[in-house]
């Protein structure tokens, strides 16, 4: 593997993939909360995030 390819691989492995996993996890959790009556603190969190 060339150094550049190795760097790209490492970036993917340790930066991009965790980011995707975290986002997927967040969306899954959010979907759960949306399905149920959202807790007031979640609503507040959403409002503070969107502002």
Query: Does 23 have pLDDT greater than 80?
Result: yes
State the average pLDDT over residues 16-33.
Answer: 88
Confidence of residue 42 (pLDDT cuts 50, 70, 90): low
DSSP states along 1-51: --HHHHHHHHHIIIIIHHHHHHHHHHHHHHHHHHHSPPPHHHHHHHHHHH-
Q: Is the C-alpha dihedral spanning 10, 14, 19, 24 positive or negative?
A: positive
Residue 1: predicted pLDDT: 75
Residue 14: predicted pLDDT: 92
Side-chain half-sphere CA neighbours of 8 within 13 A = 5
State the average pLDDT over residues 37-45.
Answer: 63
Residue 30: predicted pLDDT: 83
């Amino acid at each position: 593997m060339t150094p550049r390819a190795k760097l790209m691989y490492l970036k993917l492995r340790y930066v991009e993939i965790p980011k995707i996993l975290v986002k997927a996890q967040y969306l899954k959790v959010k979907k759960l909360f949306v399905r149920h009556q959202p807790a007031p603190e979640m609503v507040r969190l959403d409002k503070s995030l969107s502002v």
